[in-house]
Amino acid sequence: MTTDAVIEALRNALLADPSNHAVRSHLAELLVGAGRDEEALEEAAKVLAAEPDNIGALRTAATAAAAAGQASRAAGYARLADALAPGDGGESHHGPGDFAMVVPDTAEELLEGWVESEALVEPEIGRLSQATITLSGVGGLADVKRRLELSFLAPMRNPELRVQFGKSLRGGLLLWGPPGCGKTFIARALAGELGANFYEVGLSDVLDMYVGNSERNLSSIFDAARRNRPCVLFFDEIDALGQKRSHLRHGGAALRGVVNQMLAELDGASSDNEGVFVLAASNHPWDVDSALLRPGRLDRTVLVLPPDLEAREAVLRLHLRGRPTESIDFRGLAKATDGLSGADLALACEQAAEAAMEASIESATVRPITQHQLAQAVRSIRPSIGEWLETAKNYAMYGNDSGAYDELAAYLKRRRR
């Protein structure tokens, strides 16, 4: 796969999820490698605006700034990275000629250097962990839980009934809906319900600029999931990874190979997928290749809408847990936040905490987060899913011949009332 093709795919992913800093950092690194230093610096700066202590982004920004002729800016990034991670071996901030190659004089010196150096470690792909939450820890979303119970959990818990009714465990589950509404959290809770490992994979974990490496990465990911079964294998941003092959341009041949590899792994043509439960999340299911949604693959879909009243109250309680607060009317706040996503609610809590911190600094004493500060924060936030709803409405109204978006159409109808 060409660098330009990977860069284009990462940019498309960021259009769907601008807050994915891991993908943006990876994009900045690729832009540096492609000699597009100004673009790399811009992307790295966006990451640092949200994560000022991101060492990788600091190193990338230093390299890009130096190559773009901004020496003082490069030095500033480099000093901050060195202060945050002294001795981490980061060299991206140095310019040509800053290093002198040390050549051993004897074989003994060469061997001594090898003994003292650390052995190479094969990099891990994705993040594998043990899920510590279950669906009982997910506030509200009763309809989503019921769908998950009927289509995914109940057949596993009742093997005898499953056999009698001919219910197959083949296939996977696609969680879709607006960004910031908890699809990843629900996937992790599902893993907890199953007592399974949770293996989370993102777009940057799979895509590689070299031809064939992306397919090999996918194969390695499925192999790792099979070695750690029972395992919930979760693919985030599946619309970017498994996008419709008819939409692929420029580096389309290579990206089509990624989709084909995904299909082969889901079918388990060469391996047994027993005990591997494949989940995926998408903000734009209409961009997912239809072959991925056929029976035996990601053939069950669950719409995850913005949190309902119970869920909003639970999210607010979660993000204020452990922080100093006065007596808070959580139910009243939840009623005032209809249409906000979970991410929007988290932002409101952060803004209220910042206001309380400012008051504490001015008074030289700890001031708790107040109801008024939270109400102000809620009023200042514009729902982040508005643009998504506008796009989704077109598919629900004009692209729903198969009935795939019936739930979405019903939700949009309720919102108009």
Is the CATH number of domain 127-303 3.40.50.300?
yes
Over residues 278-289, the mean pLDDT reads 91
Task: Note the pLDDT tens digit of each residue in 191-201.
Answer: 888 888 899 99
Residue 358's pLDDT is 93
pLDDT band, residue 93 (cuts 50/70/90): very low
Residue 401: name the closest of 283, 245, 290 by CA.
290
Find the helix packing angle between 37-50 and 55-67, rounded to 10°: 150
Q: Are 169 and 276 in contact (CB under 8 A)?
A: no
Q: Which of 156-165, 272-281, 296-305, 315-324 has the highest mean pLDDT?
A: 315-324
Residue 156's pLDDT is 73
The DSSP symbol for 280 reads E
Judged against a pLDDT cut of 60, whether residue 218 lies above it is answered with yes
Is the CATH number of domain 3-84 3.20.20.150?
no
Q: How is the chain split into domains, by residue range?
A: 3-84, 127-303, 309-380, 386-416
**For residue 218, with 0-12 CB atoms within 10 Å meaning exposed, 13-18 middle and 19 or more buried, which class applies?**
buried
Using CA atoms, how far residue 80 sits from 73, 74, 331, in Å, is 11, 10, 43
Residue 63's pLDDT is 92
Residue 314: name the closest of 56, 139, 158, 145 by CA.
139
Q: Are 313 and 328 in contact (CB under 8 A)?
A: no
pTM score: 0.67
R_g over Cα of the chain: 24
Task: Note the pLDDT tens digit of each residue in 146-157.
Answer: 888 877 787 777
Q: Are 372 and 415 in contact (CB under 8 A)?
A: no
Mean pLDDT across the chain = 82
3-state secondary structure of 222: helix
The size of the chain, in residues, is 417
Q: Which of 103-112, 135-144, 400-409 has the highest mean pLDDT?
A: 400-409
In angstroms, the CA 60 to CA 22 distance is: 13
CA 284 to chain centre: 14
In angstroms, the CA 312 to CA 340 distance is: 8
- H or E stretch at 279: strand 276-282
Residue 249's pLDDT is 59
Residue 247's pLDDT is 64
Cβ neighbours, 10 Å, residue 4 = 14
166: left (phi over 0), alpha (psi -120 to 50) or beta: left
The class that CATH gives domain 309-380 is mainly alpha
For the chain, helix (H) and strand (E) counts, in that order, are 20, 6
Q: Side by side, which strands form the sheet with 173-176?
A: 127-130, 197-201, 231-235, 276-282, 173-176, 300-303
Residue 206's pLDDT is 86
Domains 3-84 and 127-303 share a fold: no
Judged against a pLDDT cut of 70, whether residue 117 lies above it is answered with no
Task: Note the pLDDT tens digit of each residue in 343-375.
Answer: 999 999 999 999 999 999 998 899 999 999 999
Residue 144's identity, in one-letter code, is V
pLDDT band, residue 109 (cuts 50/70/90): low
The DSSP symbol for 404 reads T
In angstroms, the CA 18 to CA 24 distance is: 8
Judged against a pLDDT cut of 70, whether residue 110 lies above it is answered with no
Say which residue, 136 or 330, is predicted with more confidence: 330
